Structure 1
Amino acid sequence: MPVMLMRSLKPPELRNGTRYVVVNCSPMVAEVEIAVGAHKGKRHFIPRIPLEPTDTQLPFKFQWRQLPLRPCFAMTMNKAQGQILKCVRLDLRQHVFTHVMLYVALTRTGSKDNIHFIAPNGTTRNVVYTDVLYISSQA
């Protein structure tokens, strides 16, 4: 199953946002193989890590252990930054927030033939908030 690491454990190979494929899974650890990038094919063991709630009103503390992995059959444009993908499918039924998000999505693959869109009438609206651009240019 394709998964994404949700917390950096040992950069640069075990870094937040890196995609892996689960090779084996036991109750306390998952064996994963790096799916893309310079370290593609290397295998690592991801342990369950202890987590504690920070905003609890409970009169006691509790802790649980969980794998810092999420299924990654799809990803947001922000998480796709730095990824190399064979094929990109974009759902543009909702407007893209910034030019940069669309640029990141369109440049994840090396060929325009590997980019596919879902968009009403084959178009999407380019939303630019000029107030935000003005404020950021003044800083």
Structure 2
Amino acid sequence: MGMRNINPNEGLMNGTRLQITEVMDFMVRATILTGDKVGEDVYIPRLLITPTDKRLPFKMRRRQLPLAVAFAITINKSQGQSLFQVGLFLPRPVFSHGQLYVAISRVTSKKGLKVLIVDLEGKPQKKTTNVVFKEVYDNL
């Protein structure tokens, strides 16, 4: 998964899912799996990354590929994507308003959705809490 907005016009943005097809010394070739440019091959170079941690008494720089292995993604990272299969693991209730909706609404059909809810001991459960701030509706 792409971790930076490298070239949005070419489909290389933060959150773009990719399939790596070739690894070279200073870059990788990948096929885009999501967005408007599905199926297109792209080259992704190493980028110069400079952390902005003010606590360090020196500037650190490194070159790295702006990619992360994504066998699984967070609910926030899935926002805006359409997925054929979604497996949702909830070891505790979601922590913010609308997050459960975002997670479940990513899947294109009910058949592609699997949800595992467990309690603190790891025992499967049949329901979870959907966090809703009812105060939002008080003044409507």
Tell me the distance in 2 between the aligned counterparts of 1:81 and 1:57: 34
Where has structure 1 moved over 3 Å in runs of 4 or more?
Answer: 128-131
Counterpart for residue 70 of structure 1: 68
- Superposed CA RMSD in Å reads 2.1
Counterpart for residue 5 of structure 2: 8
Q: Residue deviations 1:3-57, cap 9 Å, x none?
A: x111101114111111111111112101111112321101111110011232253
Tell me the distance in 2 between the aligned counterparts of 1:126 and 1:84: 21
Within a 5 Å distance, the mapping from 1:17-32 to structure 2 comes to: 17-32=15-30
* C-alpha spacing 1:99/1:26, structure 2 compared with 1 (3 Å): same
User: Structure 1: which 5+ residue stretches go unaligned?
Assistant: none
Taking structure 2 as the reference length, the TM-score comes to: 0.82
Structure 2 residue 47 is the aligned partner of structure 1 residue 43: no
Task: Calculate percent identity across the aligned residue pairs.
Answer: 41
Structure having greater relative contact order (Cα 8 Å, sep ≥ 6): 1
Taking structure 1 as the reference length, the TM-score comes to: 0.83
Within a 5 Å distance, the mapping from 1:1-139 to structure 2 comes to: 4-12=1-9, 13-55=11-53, 56-58=55-57, 60-119=58-117, 120-129=124-133, 133=136
CA drift of 1:99 comes to 4.2
- Are 2:97 and 2:133, in contact at CA under 8 Å, matched by a contact in 1? no
Q: Residue deviations 1:112-132, cap 9 Å, x none?
A: 11100111322112233556x
**Greater helix content:** 1
- Are 1:93 and 1:124, in contact at CA under 8 Å, matched by a contact in 2? no
